[in-house]
Chains A and B, each alone.
Chain A
Amino acid sequence: MGIKWDEILITGDPIILGSQIAILLTTLGIIGGLTYLKKWTWLWREWITTVDHKRIGIMYIVAAVLMFFRGGMDGLMMKAQTSRPEMSFLDAQHYNEVFTAHGVIMILFMAMPFLIGLMNVVIPLQIGARDVAFPQLNALSFWLFFSGAMLFNIAFVVGGAPDAGWTSYFPLAGKEFSPGIGNNYYAISLQIAGLGTLMTGINFIVTILKMRTKGMTLMRMPMFTWTTLITSVIIVAAFPIFTVALALMTFDRLYGTHFFTVAAGGSDMLWANLFWLWGHPEVYIVILPAFGMFSEIISTFSRKQLYGYKSMVVSIVAIAVLSMLVWVHHFYTMGSGALVNSFFSITTMMIAVPTGVKMFNWLFTMRKGRIKMTTAMLWSLAFVPNFVIGGVTGVMLAMGAADYQYHNTLFLVAHFHYVLIPGVVFAVFAGLYYWWPKMFGFMLNEKLGKWHFWLFVIGFNVTFMPMFFLGLNGAVRRAYTFSAESGFAPLFLLSAIGSVILAAGFAVFCYNIYWSIRYADRNISSDPWDARTLEWATASPVQHYNFAKLPEVKSLDAFWYMKKDNEGLTLKDEEIEEIHMPSNSGLPFLMCVAFGIVGFFLIFEWHLLAAISAVLIIAGLIYRSFDYNDGYHIHKDEIKKTEGAWRKMEGKVNNHVS
């Protein structure tokens, strides 16, 4: 079938060669380390085959941090390339590959898994459940994401990187103009990861609708649970569009159809429409859970109930609906005519209304609160003004007529980094500092956390603020260099310096994780922040069955009132019952391998091999259909022992309310 062996590995570029060596050494290091420490069975039993939502969440987060590193390196490379006029660090082709990888990785393999990871860890606990509705499907979701992410990540060393932008617009992304296999990576790996995301969406809708503990009505759900529910609904409504778009792209590229081609009646703008029909809801998929986390954190550290709970709920529902009605704002310049552009201008601006309501609610939550300046709270405080900058420039971009000026400039790039970084990245950092003790039983160092915070926030502003002005002066996006005469040099340099500060902040974050794992105090309370929601009503790290006795909810901020009224915190021996748990399974991981193999062959257009190996996927499905393992029971003695260990002698949870 004409396999060109010599074209599989990319050769001839020093940066890529360096990466290949680094990848090889890291892989060998990991394999060697695991073998030396005899950790293979541990890894398989405790992590790879796990169906525990908390562990799956942690694996998502680890993957997301690694992807943040990779995407961040890409960002730094671009900043280095544009730090001076006419730099020759990256050539045009290489710059294209780098911004494509950066955009895809940051959104789909950093932001999404980071948020889904935190959702996984927190949501079942917050609603007082023992797991998600479909634990094994949850593991499959993770492993499909992982399979897609790994495929995408090897592109630049094996076969060639996609280079048509994270939007992969046609006709550029078609076979005619991108004949290599690079863009196949985009089509196939995002498809695999997207399947995982869709399953996550379904899983969380059912979990939240069906598994809430006694007394938790919809209007008593914590805000993070609410935003997760609505996010999951958007996932189910929007991801199938992307599934279709990617499938059609695959057909065009692999089988010569004419959906998006210029020839034979295809329509390139059809791709743009389908992409953004998914793409715009996607940005709300990443922002809504982040909003939820800020709500929890602001309320906890202001020591007050969230202000305007009902209006918060109405706002997220309104945002979800509007998010489906704005996609054309990404291509006003396509020339749809004044009427169409005006319609989408108005719907876009309307989103600012519910978002503004939320902003004021957060501010009113803090008003007269006794604010504690923890690291998690600092991120939430910084989020407010920075996100407002992103939002206001968003309203500027929303005006169809004015957008003809801003379109495709660095003004836009600055805008979306001002919503994505304060909105999502600040949120996941805040969430990580906040829930870290719940996941691991010790805190991240608060002092290093503050260094991380200040370096990152200052670096972020220095990097992206200049881009607004560069863009207004006419600097286009996705351009690998500029001339000295353009006069852009000082601002580009400033921006590059900012990115170094930003990177230093990230380095402190990594160091903080290392430091805390080694030195942090293990002897902390299960409720170190004096928090308000149910995830804090159980041990840290959480025992695998979550709750010995499912808590009962009487109001919003249930745990807060449990502590205040000293109710439901104790556990009597006779209340302990056997608990049913799902068994581990290696199948999700094997499916990850199977999808990876099939995906890889498809990317290389080795159709016969792909068809043969698809048997692996089918075998997995058949195995699953005949699998009647329905879990095991945890005995009372074991529960008694576990509960005794963390409840200390008196059998009580921390019931301190300040």
Chain B
Amino acid sequence: MSANVNTSLPLEYQTEQSRMNILGFWIFLGAEIVLFATLFSVYGVLYKNYAGGPTHQDIFMIKEVMIQTVLLLTSSFTMGVAIWEMRRNNKKGLIGWFILTLLLGAGFLFMEINEFIHYVHEGATMQTSAFLSSLFVLLGTHGAHVTFGIFWATMVIIQIAKRGLTPVTARKTFIIGLYWHFLDVVWIFIFTFVYLKGMVL
């Protein structure tokens, strides 16, 4: 809150309020970890309850999932580059890489929605069985986070464009970066424990 500015730190860490916001966001990510851990446990309890409906092998499309994974992992990399550009105080570079990140995220989302539509066509809806309920909600929660992230990041890009790189816009960008990488980590777990495990076992 106070104007206590420390210019020896990276831009996003310079004010006390920014440092508090970043710490607060880390704690929020802690809560998000619990949230996803709970969803994974629910899936872990229900994932074999097909109730006569389709099983993993019946519906999963491994090629599409691979593409989704590549898109999202790449977007995490471009996000990293964006933050690196921010540290170099290169506004143009930051915005460019940031937009690329969001495009990759949108591509991921597009693929995921198609995947859901495909499932429904196969007769695998959220209401079919406990397995599918838990699958849709786990994937859907992740997808909703990505969607939210895209809209949120768009707001921030507008602010960077209008205001340039200030301690506030830098902090906002940095926090979205954390969020984005977090979603990537969650995806890695989904990929491993939902898709790979579901295909192999």
**A256 within 8 A of partner (CB):** yes
Contact code string A166-206 (vs B, CB < 8 Å = 1, else 0): 00000000000000000000000000000000100111011
Interface-side segment among B28-36, B57-65, B89-97, B180-188 = B28-36
Residue of A at shortest CB range from B152?
A625
Given the contacts A130-B1, A266-B49, A203 and B133 also touching, CB distance less than 8 Å? no
B38 touching A265 by the CB < 8 A rule? Answer: no
**A248 within 8 A of partner (CB):** yes
- A interface majority secondary structure: helix
Given the contacts A202-B28, A205-B27, A251 and B137 also touching, CB distance less than 8 Å? yes
A255 touching B46 by the CB < 8 A rule? Answer: no
**A582 within 8 A of partner (CB):** yes
Partner of B1 from A244, A251, A258, A582 at Cβ < 8 Å: A582
Interface-side segment among B6-14, B74-82, B124-132, B190-198 = B124-132
B126 touching A255 by the CB < 8 A rule? Answer: yes
Q: Specify which chain A residues have a CB less than 8 angstroms from the CB of B42 in the assembled complex.
A: 244, 248, 259, 270, 274
Interface-side segment among A234-242, A326-334, A404-412, A587-595 = A234-242
Q: Which 4 A-B pairs have the closest CB atoms?
A: A265-B49, A265-B130, A257-B133, A240-B35
- What's the least CB distance linking A262 to chain B, in Å? 11
- What's the least CB distance linking B48 to chain A, in Å? 8
B38 touching A264 by the CB < 8 A rule? Answer: no
- What's the least CB distance linking B123 to chain A, in Å? 14
Counting chain B residues whose Cβ lies within 8 A of the other chain, the interface size class is: 35 or more
**B113 within 8 A of partner (CB):** no
B residues touching A (Cβ–Cβ < 8 Å)?
1-3, 16, 19-21, 23-24, 27-28, 30-32, 34-35, 38-39, 42, 45-46, 49-51, 53, 126-131, 133-134, 136-137, 152, 155-156, 159, 168
Partner of A240 from B19, B38, B49 at Cβ < 8 Å: B38
- What's the least CB distance linking B28 to chain A, in Å? 6
| Cα distance, A245 to B35, chains bound together (Å) | 10
Partner of B133 from A238, A245, A251, A582 at Cβ < 8 Å: A251
- What's the least CB distance linking B159 to chain A, in Å? 7
Q: Which residue, B45, B130, B152, has most C-beta atoms of chain A within 10 A?
A: B130
A265 touching B34 by the CB < 8 A rule? Answer: no
A240 touching B31 by the CB < 8 A rule? Answer: yes
A243 touching B35 by the CB < 8 A rule? Answer: yes
Number of residues of chain A lying within 8 A (CB) of chain B: 47
B2 touching A580 by the CB < 8 A rule? Answer: yes
Residue of A at shortest CB range from B140?
A251
Partner of B127 from A247, A256, A277 at Cβ < 8 Å: A256
A133 touching B24 by the CB < 8 A rule? Answer: yes
A248 touching B137 by the CB < 8 A rule? Answer: yes
A259 touching B31 by the CB < 8 A rule? Answer: no
What are 27 inter-chain pairs, A to B, with CB distance below 8 A?
A133-B24, A201-B31, A202-B24, A202-B27, A202-B28, A205-B27, A209-B23, A210-B16, A236-B27, A237-B31, A240-B32, A241-B34, A248-B42, A251-B126, A251-B133, A257-B137, A258-B127, A258-B129, A259-B133, A259-B134, A264-B51, A264-B127, A265-B130, A266-B49, A266-B130, A580-B1, A580-B2
- What's the least CB distance linking A379 to chain B, in Å? 33
Q: Specify which chain B residues have a CB less than 8 angstroms from the CB of A264 in the assembled complex.
A: 49, 51, 53, 127-130
Instruction: Give A116-140 interface residues, CB cut-off 8 Å to B.
Output: 130-131, 133-134
Q: Which residue, A263, A265, A622, A631, has most C-beta atoms of chain B within 10 A?
A: A265
- What's the least CB distance linking B191 to chain A, in Å? 21
A residues touching B (Cβ–Cβ < 8 Å)?
130-131, 133-134, 198, 201-203, 205-206, 209-211, 236-241, 243-245, 247-248, 251, 255-259, 261, 263-267, 270, 274, 277, 580-582, 622, 625-626, 628, 631
- What's the least CB distance linking B125 to chain A, in Å? 9
Q: Specify which chain A residues have a CB less than 8 angstroms from the CB of B129 in the assembled complex.
A: 258, 264-265
Q: Specify which chain A residues have a CB less than 8 angstroms from the CB of B34 in the assembled complex.
A: 236-238, 240-241
Partner of B46 from A256, A270, A580 at Cβ < 8 Å: A270
A626 touching B130 by the CB < 8 A rule? Answer: no
- What's the least CB distance linking A536 to chain B, in Å? 23
Q: Specify which chain B residues have a CB less than 8 angstroms from the CB of A133 in the assembled complex.
A: 20, 24
Given the contacts A240-B35, A248-B42, A265-B49, A625 and B156 also touching, CB distance less than 8 Å? yes
B27 touching A270 by the CB < 8 A rule? Answer: no
- What's the least CB distance linking A268 to chain B, in Å? 11
A236 touching B31 by the CB < 8 A rule? Answer: yes
Q: Specify which chain A residues have a CB less than 8 angstroms from the CB of B35 in the assembled complex.
A: 240-241, 243-244
Given the contacts A267-B130, A270-B42, A622 and B31 also touching, CB distance less than 8 Å? no
- What's the least CB distance linking B174 to chain A, in Å? 15
- What's the least CB distance linking A625 to chain B, in Å? 4
- What's the least CB distance linking B170 to chain A, in Å? 14
- What's the least CB distance linking B57 to chain A, in Å? 17
- What's the least CB distance linking B199 to chain A, in Å? 20
Q: Specify which chain A residues have a CB less than 8 angstroms from the CB of B16 in the assembled complex.
A: 210
Residue of B at shortest CB range from A243?
B35
B155 touching A266 by the CB < 8 A rule? Answer: no
Partner of A131 from B1, B23, B32, B155 at Cβ < 8 Å: B1
Given the contacts A241-B34, A270-B42, A134 and B137 also touching, CB distance less than 8 Å? no
Given the contacts A236-B30, A251-B137, A256-B127, A206 and B23 also touching, CB distance less than 8 Å? yes
A257 touching B168 by the CB < 8 A rule? Answer: no
| Cα distance, A238 to B33, chains bound together (Å) | 11
Q: Specify which chain A residues have a CB less than 8 angstroms from the CB of B131 in the assembled complex.
A: 265
Q: Specify which chain B residues have a CB less than 8 angstroms from the CB of A245 in the assembled complex.
A: 38
Q: Specify which chain A residues have a CB less than 8 angstroms from the CB of B23 in the assembled complex.
A: 206, 209-210
- What's the least CB distance linking A260 to chain B, in Å? 9
| Cα distance, A470 to B126, chains bound together (Å) | 46
Residue of A at shortest CB range from B166?
A628
